[in-house]
Amino acid sequence: MPDKKIKEKKTIPDGLKTPKGMHDILPGEEVWWDKLYRAAEKISEFYGFHKIETPILEQASLFERAVGEDTDIVQKEMYIVKTKGGDVLALRPECTAPVARAFIEHSLGKSSPLQKLWYSGPMFRYENPQAGRFRQFHQIGFETIGGPNDPMYDAQIIITTQRFLEELKIKNLNLKINSIGCRVCRPIYKRQLQTYYKPHLKQLCADCNRRYATNPLRLLDCKNEKCQPFKEKVPNFFDKLCTTCSTHLKTVLEYMDELKIPYSLDNQLVRGLDYYSRTVFEFYVEGDGMNLGAVAGGGRYDYLLEALGGRPTPGVGAALGSERLIEVMKAQGATPQLRVPRKVFMIHVGEQAKKKSLGIIEELRRGNISVTEALSRESLKAQLKMADREGAPLALILGQKEIFENSIIIRDLKNSLQENVPLERLVEEIKKRLK
């Protein structure tokens, strides 16, 4: 008996697959991304944020000055592109710096001293891919730039972020808040941190040894297990805040109490970007067996625009990771809103009807009637089955006889009743039946 040939599953060669840490968003996933974007649009419109889009590529020096030359993002994670003209560009690792650059470059403060902006799009960081974290990932963010340096704007960014998460029906939120001080009190705390950590340097990881000299605040953010015991007795930043920073934090917390938003103070919460000052915050999701880290985070950045060559201008913002949000929604059993089914299904019988159907479909589109079809199929039975699967209430049937009479059959797929109507009255008749 001859051996049966085993069919091998064809797959794309490794050299042609998506790069490590990057992923396709397939048609079946689109409903989740639509849900995110619709929620962002809704919340942004309600709270008065206007959409801004910045290039995916920016000058690398923008992030070196804004994010900080000694941060992990700049040191390890930026994708650098050298152009033929000699420019050194970077795929944006985050979007607050580009938004601040656009604010300065286009003098947005002249049209209105207070700009409330939001963005959505891909970011890029060369880091180890893990659950909810990719090398190409997507963020949605809210930024308030300009106006008075008022803690109210910190509170408003937090409430906007919270309401966005609630709009996505994400449950079990945990808000953590801290203050990382300002130019006056932060250097004092950094020196105290260095004093505390100095006897333990040989026991710390290589990254923490580097951070000790260049960016000591980031010692508090280390996730390496061998460094965790030393974080338990670090000096308390709250005791070192200057009067201005202490008052600022106190006022933000009073707004949280007024808004009845639960929070916890976290003295070790720092952000991985140097431009932050004073209030910083992160949202976590508790339970559900998830360990995705923060799903949202942000804070105040009063020195950022000045560092980029602009005037001293206050700012505060937040960013949310889209992939992480989708992971949370799926884990919590959320159901994305499916697209509204098309109202009309176009069916053709014969080659001549197939050609004429395209024109009829365009006529329906101009009449603002959603329509779908299966023009690649010739069988009437197969097309009717597909119309039923699509959930369309009406089917249009065009055959040789209807072409000759300049008419078309409108069939009610719920009760199987049908009527032949003139083509010039088609849009009018469909709208009448869909009321």
Dihedral, CA atoms, 6, 8, 9, 15, nearest 10 degrees? 170
pLDDT, one tens digit per residue, over 376-405 is 777 888 888 888 887 788 888 998 899 999
Sorted by where each begins, the domain ranges of the chain are 14-185+241-331, 344-433
Q: Domain 14-185+241-331 adopts which CATH fold?
A: BirA Bifunctional Protein; domain 2 (3.30.930)
pLDDT digits (tens, 9 = 90+) for 320-372: 999 999 999 998 888 876 665 567 888 888 888 888 888 888 888 888 888 88
Please report, for residues 15, 27, 45, 160, 254, the alpha-carbon distance to residue 18 in angstroms, rounded to integers and kept in the order given.
Answer: 9, 17, 35, 35, 48
pLDDT above 90 for 70: no
Question: pLDDT by residue (tens digit) across 157-186?
Answer: 999 999 999 999 998 999 999 999 999 998
| Amino acid 256: pLDDT | 93
CATH superfamily membership of 344-433 = Anticodon-binding domain (3.40.50.800)
pTM: 0.83
Residue type, 273: L
Instruction: Mark residue 156 as left, alpha or beta (left: phi above 0; alpha: psi -120 to 50; beta: remaining).
Output: alpha
Whether the predicted pLDDT of 3 surpasses 80 = no
Alpha carbon distances (Å) from 51 to 71, 156, 365, 374 = 28, 17, 28, 37
Tell me what pLDDT residue 341 has.
59
Residues 94-141 have pLDDT tens digits of: 999 999 999 999 999 888 889 999 999 999 999 877 766 789 999 999
Residue 426 has pLDDT above 50, yes or no: yes
pLDDT tier at 10, thresholds 50, 70, 90: low
Most confident of 14-18, 77-81, 213-217: 77-81
Tell me the pLDDT band of 1, cut-offs 50, 70 and 90.
very low
Residue 5 has pLDDT above 60, yes or no: no
Q: Which residue type occupies 428?
A: E
Q: What is the chain's mean pLDDT, rounded?
A: 87
Domains 14-185+241-331 and 344-433 share a fold: no
Confidence (pLDDT) at 342 = 64
pLDDT digits (tens, 9 = 90+) for 130-155: 766 789 999 999 999 998 889 999 99
Question: Can you tell me which residue has the tokens 């019988």?
Answer: 349
Exposed, middle or buried by CB within 10 Å (0-12, 13-18, 19+), for 244?
middle
At 15, the pLDDT band (50, 70, 90 cuts) reads confident
Whole-number CA gyration radius for the chain:
29
pLDDT band per the 50, 70, 90 thresholds, residue 416:
confident
The residues facing 300 across adjacent strands are 277, 316
Task: Return the percentage of the chain with pLDDT > 70, whole number.
Answer: 95
Q: How far is CA 260 from the centre of its chain?
A: 26
pLDDT exceeds cutoff 70 at 65: yes
